[in-house]
Amino acid sequence: MFSLNKKTPTNLPLIGVGLRHNHFEDALNTPANIDFIEVHAENFFANGGASHAVLTDISQHYKISLHATSLGLGSALPAPQNQLDQLTNLVERYQPILLSDHACFSWAESENASVHAGDLLPVPFNDESLSIMVRNVERAQMQLGRKILVENLSAYIELPGSTYSEAEFLVKLCHQSGCKLLVDLNNLIVNAINQPLTTLTSEQIDSESTIDVLAHAKHWLDKIPAELVGEIHLAGCTPVGSEQLMIDDHGQPVSDDVWHLYHYALQKFGPIATLIEWDENLPTWQVLIAEADKAKSIAINVFSAEYEKSDSKKTLEVVHNDS
């Protein structure tokens, strides 16, 4: 896909994989050339147990990233304090290098009790939603004592009432709350593929559904300042037929579209920490690590080219000064 006949640079991004239960033993017994592992925070909210014992052992070999799904940062009803306390305890215990959640709605009140939707639901991109999310992010960051990364969502409906694009909304969120972004490239591809089905009527789909998926995703990335990006997620999902919604199931290898978008993102944002996600139809540990190796190969290609360009520029400057 990309030429690798270049010098290996030293400024490569950290590359990690999402760790699921099936791979606990492999992570301990089969060392891999990765920089960190990510776990879903809520799986470790219990105070003790075998899972903590394993994660403690794994943390001796790899840096830890915590990826949460329970804060519901876009919810008008804030997450219960107990939820935030459990995440805080986990952060203090493992000192993760990265900490993230999603730009979504998930908490509501039912019969005088806080209820989690069990899903990551979209919000309209307007000032009201922005105010709510800024408040929730600031609350989380104040208690956690650190900045969090907020991930863009794969959404299957387009809510009415938006006055900003998703990218514009997330940039404003960062500027107002001090958080950074976790940019999920597969979510961008999924949303681009699904856009005709979520924005057009059935009568319009046949004549207007053609979209340049990569161009659409690159346009989204172009709206994000590089200094606001703290992590990149890569994933694959199950292909679907035309006029079917693509579901972000994280059940396949990273797609060619996502790999190409990753190359573009590294050129734009620099050596940003990168994670391979694979949650369904889990492969072997070796196959998962091979996906991380692909990410590293692309990074080598991108940053070797930049190194050679910079080195050539310095050489020309020396020659010019000597003359």
pLDDT at residue 209 in the model: 52
> 100 has which bridge partners?
67, 149
Whole-prediction pTM: 0.90
Model pLDDT, residue 310:
57
Percent of the chain with pLDDT over 70: 89
Instruction: Identify how many contiguous H helices and E strands the chain contains and give both numbers.
Output: 10, 10
pLDDT of residue 315: 43
Residue 183 phi, psi (nearest 5):
-95, 110
Secondary structure of residue 113 in the 3-state scheme: strand
Q: How far is the CA of 140 from the CAs of 73, 214, 257, 295, in angstroms?
A: 9, 34, 34, 31
- What is the phi/psi pair of residue 80, to 5°? -55, 145
Output the pLDDT for position 296. 97
Is residue 37 within 8 Å of residue 19, measured between CB atoms? yes
Q: Give the residue carrying structure tokens 């492969």.
A: 283
Q: How many CB atoms lie within 10 A of CB 102?
A: 25
Query: What was the pLDDT predicted at 305?
Result: 75
Q: Which two tokens stand for residue 82?
A: 């107990």
User: Could you tell me the mean pLDDT of each successive run of 10 residues in the chain, 323 residues long?
Assistant: 57 96 93 94 89 92 96 95 96 97 91 84 97 98 97 90 97 98 97 81 51 94 98 95 88 97 98 97 97 97 77 48 54
pLDDT at residue 203 in the model: 52
* Cα 267 to Cα 299: distance, rounded to the nearest angstrom: 9
Question: Which domains can be identified in the chain, with CATH numbers?
Answer: 15-322 (3.20.20.150)
Token match 């998962």: residue? 288
